[in-house]
Amino acid sequence: MLLRLMRGHLKPYKGWLISIVLLQLVATGAMLYLPSLNADIINKGVIKGDTGYILGAGGLMLGVSLAQAICSVSAAWFGAHVSMAFGRDLRGAVFHRVGGFSAREVTTFGAPSLITRATNDVQQVQMLTMLTCTMAVQIPILMVGSIIMAVHVNAGMSWLVAVVVPILAILVGIVVTRMVPHFRKVQERLDAVNKVLREQITGIRVVRAFVREPLETERFAVANDALTDVSLKAGNWMATMFPIVMLVANGASIALIWFGSHRIAAGTMLPGDLTAFLSYLMQIVMSVMMGTFMLMMVPRSAVCADRIGVVLDTDSSVVPPARPVTSVGVAGHLDFEGVALTYPGAEQPVLRDVTFSARPGQTVAIIGSTGAGKTTLVNLVPRLLDATEGRVLVDGVDVRDLDEELLWSRLGLIPQKAFLFSGTVASNLRQGKPDATDDELWEALRIAQGEDFVRAMPEQLDAPIAQGGTNVSGGQRQRLAIARALVRRPEIYLFDDAFSALDLATDARLRAALRPETRDATVVIVAQRIATIRDADLILVLDDGVVVGRGTHDELMADDPTYQEIAASQGIGDEEAVA
Average pLDDT over residues 138-156: 81
Per-residue confidence (pLDDT) for residue 577, from 0 to 100: 42
Give the pLDDT confidence of 462-504 residue by residue, as tens digits. 888 887 777 888 888 888 888 888 888 888 888 888 877 777 7
Are 446 and 396 in contact by the 8 Å Cβ rule? The answer is no
Would the pLDDT of 553 be above 70?
Answer: yes
Average pLDDT over residues 535-551: 86
Are 481 and 419 in contact by the 8 Å Cβ rule? The answer is yes
Would the pLDDT of 367 be above 80?
Answer: yes
Q: How confident is the model at residue 70 (pLDDT cuts 50, 70, 90)?
A: very high
Per-residue confidence (pLDDT) for residue 578, from 0 to 100: 44
Would the pLDDT of 424 be above 80?
Answer: yes
Strand 389-394 versus strand 397-398 pairing type: antiparallel
Question: What does the alpha-carbon distance between residue 288 and residue 281 come to, in Å, rounded to a whole number?
Answer: 11
Question: What does the alpha-carbon distance between residue 119 and residue 313 come to, in Å, rounded to a whole number?
Answer: 18
Average pLDDT over residues 148-166: 78
Are 303 and 184 in contact by the 8 Å Cβ rule? The answer is yes
Report the range of poorest mean pLDDT among 186-190, 399-403, 536-540. 186-190
Q: How confident is the model at residue 249 (pLDDT cuts 50, 70, 90)?
A: confident
Mean pLDDT of the chain: 83
List helix spans (H) across 110-212. Answer: 111-116, 122-131, 138-153, 158-202, 204-209
Per-residue confidence (pLDDT) for residue 575, from 0 to 100: 46
Per-residue confidence (pLDDT) for residue 573, from 0 to 100: 63
Give the pLDDT confidence of 190-224 residue by residue, as tens digits. 778 878 887 887 778 788 888 888 888 888 888 88
Give the pLDDT confidence of 252-275 residue by residue, as tens digits. 888 878 887 877 777 777 777 788
Per-residue confidence (pLDDT) for residue 579, from 0 to 100: 43
**Predicted TM-score of the model (pTM):** 0.66
Strand 522-526 versus strand 492-496 pairing type: parallel
Average pLDDT over residues 9-30: 86
Average pLDDT over residues 549-572: 82
In 343-405, which ranges are E strands? 351-358, 363-368, 389-394, 397-398
C-alpha distances out from residue 20 to 3, 8, 311, Å = 18, 18, 31
What are 62-71's contacts with CB under 8 Å, separation 24+? Answer: 64/30, 64/33, 64/34, 64/37, 65/30, 65/34, 67/26, 67/27, 67/30, 68/26, 68/27, 68/30, 68/31, 68/34, 71/23, 71/24, 71/26, 71/27, 71/30
Phi, psi of 505 (to 5 degrees): -65, -45
Q: Please tell me which residue, 104 or 66, carries the higher pLDDT value.
A: 66
Share of the chain above pLDDT 90, in %: 0
Question: What does the alpha-carbon distance between residue 214 and residue 30 come to, in Å, rounded to a whole number?
Answer: 62
Average pLDDT over residues 361-380: 84
Give the pLDDT confidence of 290-344 residue by residue, as tens digits. 777 777 777 778 878 888 888 888 887 777 787 888 888 778 888 898 888 887 7
Question: What does the alpha-carbon distance between residue 381 and residue 523 come to, in Å, rounded to a whole number?
Answer: 12
Question: What does the alpha-carbon distance between residue 80 and residue 571 come to, in Å, rounded to a whole number?
Answer: 68
| Length of the chain counted residue by residue | 579
**Which residues is 325 bridged to in the sheet?**
402
Q: How confident is the model at residue 66 (pLDDT cuts 50, 70, 90)?
A: very high
Q: How many CA atoms lie within 13 A of 184 on its CB side?
A: 9
Kindly give, in sequence order, each residue whose CB lies less than 8 Å from that of residue 333, ignoring residues fewer than 6 positions away.
357, 358, 359, 360, 393, 394, 395, 396, 522
